[in-house]
Amino acid sequence: MNISVVTIFPEMIEVITKYGVLAQAIKEGIIKINIFNLRDFTKDKHKTVDDYPFGGGPGMVMKPEPFFNFFEFYKENYGTPYVILTTPQGDTLNNDLVKELSKKDNIVIICGRYEGIDERVMNFVDKEISIGDYVLTGGELPAMVIIDSISRFVPGVIDKESLENESFNTGLLDHPHYTRPRDYNGNKVPEVLFSGNHKKIEIWRRKMALKKTLEKRPDLFLKKELDLIDKKALIELFRELDTNA
Ligand code: ADE
């Protein structure tokens, strides 16, 4: 997968290419990240990327020309991309959108700054994406969130089993995890995890995931289609709640 980012702060984006899973995926050639400095696509001496808004008002607006120059260059060299603009006005990023985006192989993310971008740049944009209902100083952090989250779904980046079991992909929040020591100052790891009985462990994990989801995200629980293990786990859960009452 090819992901390109166009920004006035390329160093911000570079950071995520250097660490952890993403760095490994880049090294293995599964993901390629190209970072473009918008200023390189200006034609004036001062490399101007913003200007005053027509009609007045506060702040500055990102100029159209550098974007038009960028897309001309990009299409000539890399083909036609799927273009994302990070903006608080966009669709809110969620797991379904992340999965959908992970199937595209040529993505350009435009990082907005200042008051906004000249509306004519919208001709290039396929999708406006927000990472939540709050306003950031620019689109670089959202671009990093988008890159990180979609990369995880690209085959070969994370093992399939981890993805299948994690929060949202199962429709439930994740179950609790434990590692050594077995007893930390009297805080014990649940006995079932040492039983060696995989079926029992699976039902216990599902029960914990269902409990957590019911408590913290009932909206997700209501959308969940229950399979046989969910049903068995729920029966156990209700029995326990009943005996604890
Ligand atoms: N730019 C500024 N705030 C943003 C947000 N919440 N999501 C995406 N891009 C943004």
pLDDT, tens digit, for every residue of 13-67? 999 999 999 999 999 999 999 999 999 999 999 999 999 999 999 999 999 999 9
User: What is the pTM (predicted TM-score) of this model?
Assistant: 0.94
The amino acid that residue 16 corresponds to is I
Domain range for 125: 2-161
- Whether the pLDDT of residue 70 is over 80: the answer is yes
Run of H or E including 129: strand 127-130
Mean of pLDDT over the chain: 96
Q: Which residue did the predictor score with more confidence, 143 or 242?
A: 143
- Does a structural domain hold residue 177? no
Let me know whether 9 and 107 are in one domain.
yes
Let me know whether 6 and 83 are in one domain.
yes
- Count, in order, helices (H) and strands (E) of the chain: 9, 10
Q: Name which residue sits closest to atom 6 of ligand 1, judged by CA.
A: 88
- Does a structural domain hold residue 196? yes
Let me know whether 46 and 100 are in one domain.
yes
Let me know whether 138 and 232 are in one domain.
no
Position in ligand 1 atom list of the atom nearest CA 129: 8
- Look at residue 164 in the predicted model and tell me its pLDDT: 86
Number of domains in the chain: 2
Let me know whether 24 and 124 are in one domain.
yes
Let me know whether 95 and 21 are in one domain.
yes
- Look at residue 114 in the predicted model and tell me its pLDDT: 81
User: For residue 6, what are the β-bridge partners?
Assistant: 36, 110
- Look at residue 31 in the predicted model and tell me its pLDDT: 98
Q: Name which residue sits closest to atom 10 of ligand 1, judged by CA.
A: 87
- Does a structural domain hold residue 198? yes
- Look at residue 10 in the predicted model and tell me its pLDDT: 98
- Whether the pLDDT of residue 77 is over 80: the answer is yes
Residue 167: which pLDDT band, with cuts at 50, 70 and 90?
Answer: confident
- Look at residue 211 in the predicted model and tell me its pLDDT: 96
- Look at residue 235 in the predicted model and tell me its pLDDT: 95
Q: Which residue did the predictor score with more confidence, 116 or 114?
A: 116
- Whether the pLDDT of residue 165 is over 90: the answer is no
Query: With contact defined as beta carbons under 8 Å apart, do 120 and 64 qualify?
Result: yes
- Look at residue 181 in the predicted model and tell me its pLDDT: 98
Mean pLDDT of 196-224: 96
Cα 86 to averaged position of ligand 1 atoms, centre (Å): 6
DSSP H stretches of helix in the chain = 10-16, 20-27, 64-78, 95-101, 140-151, 160-165, 198-216, 218-223, 228-244
Cα 223 to averaged position of ligand 1 atoms, centre (Å): 28
Let me know whether 117 and 214 are in one domain.
no
- Look at residue 241 in the predicted model and tell me its pLDDT: 87
Q: Mutate which of 7, 12, 85, 87 to test ligand 1's pocket (most atoms within 8 Å of Cβ)?
A: 87
Rounded to the nearest angstrom, the gap between the alpha carbon of residue 166 and the centroid of all alpha carbons in its chain is 14
Instruction: State percent of the chain over pLDDT 90.
Output: 92
- Whether the pLDDT of residue 142 is over 80: the answer is yes
- Does a structural domain hold residue 88? yes
Query: With contact defined as beta carbons under 8 Å apart, do 218 and 191 qualify?
Result: no
- State if residue 88 touches ligand 1 by the CB under 6 angstroms criterion: yes
- State if residue 136 touches ligand 1 by the CB under 6 angstroms criterion: yes
Residue 242: which pLDDT band, with cuts at 50, 70 and 90?
Answer: confident
Let me know whether 13 and 116 are in one domain.
yes
- Does a structural domain hold residue 191? yes
Domain with residue 129: its CATH number is 3.40.1280.10
Report the range of poorest mean pLDDT among 91-95, 163-167, 215-219: 163-167
